[in-house]
Structure 1
Amino acid sequence: MSKLTQEEFRNYLKSVRELAEGPFEVMQKEVEVTNKFPQEFIDLAIENNLYRYALPEEYGGWGLSEREILQVQEEFSRGPGGMRMHLHYAADLNWRILDDYGCPELKAEYMDKFCDKTIFTCFALTEQTGGTGADLHSTAIKDADGNYVINGEKWLISHTDVAQFAYVIAVTDPEKKGDERLSAFFVPMDAPGFELVPMPHMMGCRGAGHAGFKMTDVKLDPKYRLGEEGQGMEVAMHSLAISRVHIADSNLGMCQRMLDISIARARDRVTFGKPIISRQAIKMKLANMAMTTHALRCMVMDFADDYDNDPHGEYIAEKASMCKLYSIDATRLVSDEMMEIFGGDGYFEDNPIGPCERLYRDARAMWLEEGAPTIQRITIAREMDRHNGHLVYNNWLAGGDL
């Protein structure tokens, strides 16, 4: 648990919500056009400890529990999607991979630099020709001096415009099959042979700095390897399991915001002399939105409690994918109902009645972040098979946690 009192933590949550729905919303008008965050956004994030709160205390962070981290993230996820994407990454993959798998020398040099964004990273698994699984083509082969030489390309990588290091998954032993071929690396992006490849603007979540990059004979000292050789897919999958819950939590924040503005709109919009919230059809929509949002929050917080109890627990990956998968369906339902409640006015940009149109666009990125729905279903089924078909419920019947 954090050292903040309950009242201090609650006040911090309120301040994060005010930041997301206030200054961040104002800045987003410019970001929608430029696709780049203004320095003011970074400054406010630093000032409000949004790079610090999730870090362990030993690195200058607040040492919050996973439950508390997710509560903070829900509040800033009410704001613009690109800023949410940046901040949710900052609270999770940005530092966690190095902390979990970096050698002592790397951790001593860099871990305390995450708390004020002195350094920032990007996570580079996806390739155009190799997807995000074991079928990757980037290589990291040792030369005669024992250094790794990396060649290959990565695609659809977030935060490349503000990152100094990339977590890269590459093939270290082409003779092996499957996951054993792969290893993970902490690659300086200013290394000779590292080149960014621009990408078009996204439909939503503007400002999150997406690009591809090429690596041509990028030479790397062995200390920059994360974990052991052949452990690359484990590094990626364990890290993504946690991040998938952060995506689900991002969806939760958006769902709650969409529900809130839909209630406000239903109260304000009058047809035939009555606010539409008095209409039975609208009540049904709002009830479904509220129930779905609450169910998602229960799933996310259930995972948080499991993770706080045991970060490497048996059901972490399975529950993480369940959270991510359900959150997509939840966001689809809530965003569609919101658009109907707002009507034609909600389809227009920069609308004074609320950010309906932008929220609708931002939400669609969630289908793809940290794995599409098919990937989540494959993960859930694989984990059930690994548990000999025992579902979480059966674990509870046997005396374990539900």
Structure 2
Amino acid sequence: MAWDFETDTEYQELLDWADAFVRDEVEPLDLVLGDPYDKADPSFRRLVRPLQRQVRERGLWACHLGPDLGGQGYGQVRLALLNEILGRSRFAPSVFGCQAPDSGNAEIIAHFGTEEQKKRYLAPLLDGEISSSYSMTEPHGGADPTLFTTRAERDGDGWVVNGEKWFSSNARHAAFVIVMAVTDPDVSAYEGMSMFIVPAGTPGLTIVRNVGVGGEREGSHGYLRYEDVRVPADNLLGEEGGAFAIAQTRLGGGRIHHAMRTIAQVRKAFDMMCERAVSRQTRYGPLAKLQMTQEKIADSWIEIEQFRLLVLHTAWLIDKHQDYRKVRKDIAAVKAAMPKVFHDVVQRAMHLHGALGVSGEMPFAKMLLGAQAMGIADGPTEVHKITVARRLLRDYEPVEGLWPSGHLPTRREAARERYAAALEHALGNE
């Protein structure tokens, strides 16, 4: 039986370098720079580009991609361990060339794009020269693509797109968006939707507003309107009607990456909680001496470790099967567990910091909002729980007869019948 909880020495050395690099060079950027997706920002170019060069020199640039695209082709377990480090900083994914949604968009263009599409959009995206956006969800459709109404109709040598899209992240900085639209309303949504690449500035494509989350002053999630947006036929991504297959390519691994980055955030909250516990003095001594504080710390550590093992096991299953469909239940379980662990640990840390914890001088309020967002992004928690339950129930059959299979009187009687001869023989020898 092969089972190992250790990372090979060579890769662990890279992880150790990344850990120190992110702590010393990247995390400070979060405090002095603006939007990681604003590639035109002079400060971004001056501060981030040199760091990206160091990452490239270490061979850790865009590790989610194969060697033919400039990455390392790492499996999900290795990517998970790296993302556990990158999740500490909002700039780290950009410094390492694996920021969402660009990483997912690059992956689907690499798999489904034409040579011309790869040359025009993939190459500069991989080089970190441009940003992109994924235009999928709709205001009325929520997380259910079967309710989408945005249409793309063939017109001569091109397509014309009409509709509205909601929460197209980073659209204001994107050089192009990938839009999911209905191309054949007469068949199932799973066969009648397609994806198109729409360059920024295409006539008819409008950002109605940039939606903020919580108290954000300047939102980063575009509310987009498509009004007779015309794109050439060559801008079709993959095959007509293939949107769902393309979408699954980018979602499965992305959810695992999100989960490991979330663990990094949760651990930051946990570290702040423990630091507060040993530092803050009460009339009875430090908070760490109080049993309620000890319970919070114990519960938090246990939940973090449980969740981390679930994520790593799921990453291992993806590497093993190389088929997201076979790991759909496990990915859904990760997605459902993530916001609860995030919320619970952060809330405990916030509470131990008292008034300081709820103030804008600590990051807990923003973290709590992030936990709520995680429960909605890429599908709400409730939907993923349904997926887990349905997949699990497939392995069970209804019992025949009146009593459950665990009914003790029935089992006892069956056991007596099975061992009747032996029991009778044993009694006869007494």
Q: TM-score, normalised by structure 1?
A: 0.84
Q: Which structure would you say has the larger RCO, counting Cα contacts within 8 Å and 6 or more residues apart?
A: 1
CA spacing shift, 1:361–1:177, aligned 2, 3 Å: closer
Kept in 1: contact 2:210–2:219 (CA 8 A) = no
Matched, 1:357 2:365: yes
Residue matched to 2:68 = 58
Larger radius of gyration between Structure 1 and Structure 2? 2
Give the Cα–Cα distance (whole angstroms) in 2 for the partners of residues 5 and 328 of structure 1: 29
Give the Cα–Cα distance (whole angstroms) in 1 for the partners of residues 232 and 270 of structure 2: 50
Structure 2 residue runs of 5 or longer lacking an equivalent are 1-6, 56-60, 398-430
Residue matched to 1:22 = 28
Kept in 1: contact 2:39–2:45 (CA 8 A) = no
Kept in 2: contact 1:122–1:158 (CA 8 A) = yes
Q: What amino acid is the match of 1:75?
A: I
Give the Cα–Cα distance (whole angstroms) in 2 for the partners of residues 62 and 46 of structure 1: 20
Q: What amino acid is the match of 1:308?
A: D
CA spacing shift, 1:366–1:19, aligned 2, 3 Å: farther
Alignment length (residue pairs) = 379
Give the Cα–Cα distance (whole angstroms) in 2 for the partners of residues 44 and 365 of structure 1: 29
Residue matched to 2:149 = 137
SS, match of residue 196 in structure 1: strand
Give the Cα–Cα distance (whole angstroms) in 1 for the partners of residues 147 and 375 of structure 2: 22
How do 1:57-206 residues align onto structure 2 when only pairs under 5 Å count?
A: 57-80=67-90, 88-89=99-100, 92-132=103-143, 133-145=145-157, 147-203=158-214
Cα displacement (A) at 1:7: 1.5
CA spacing shift, 1:197–1:11, aligned 2, 3 Å: same
Give the Cα–Cα distance (whole angstroms) in 1 for the partners of residues 380 and 251 of structure 2: 12
Task: Using the TM superposition, name which of 191-200 and 89-98 deviates more.
Answer: 89-98
Q: What amino acid is the match of 2:50?
A: E
Kept in 2: contact 1:56–1:63 (CA 8 A) = yes
SS, match of residue 161 in structure 1: helix
Kept in 2: contact 1:186–1:225 (CA 8 A) = yes
Q: What amino acid is the match of 1:93?
A: G
Alignment partner of 2:358 out of 337, 341, 347: 347
Q: Deviations over 1:356-384 (max 9, x none)?
A: 33333333321221111122123334545
Q: Deviations over 1:8-33 (max 9, x none)?
A: 33212321233454231x226x67xx
Residue matched to 2:334 = 323
Q: Deviations over 1:305-352 (max 9, x none)?
A: 22233332442222111111111111121111111111221111124x
CA spacing shift, 1:296–1:312, aligned 2, 3 Å: same
Residue matched to 2:226 = 215
Kept in 1: contact 2:263–2:304 (CA 8 A) = yes
SS, match of residue 48 in structure 1: helix
SS, match of residue 89 in structure 1: coil
**Identical aligned pairs, as a percentage?**
25
Q: What amino acid is the match of 2:277?
A: A
Q: What amino acid is the match of 1:315?
A: K
Task: Using the TM superposition, name which of 100-109 and 268-277 deviates more.
Answer: 100-109
Residue matched to 2:418 = none
Matched, 1:269 2:268: no
Matched, 1:374 2:382: yes
Matched, 1:10 2:8: no
CA spacing shift, 1:384–1:227, aligned 2, 3 Å: farther
Kept in 2: contact 1:67–1:301 (CA 8 A) = yes
Give the Cα–Cα distance (whole angstroms) in 2 for the partners of residues 169 and 298 of structure 1: 34
Cα displacement (A) at 1:66: 2.3
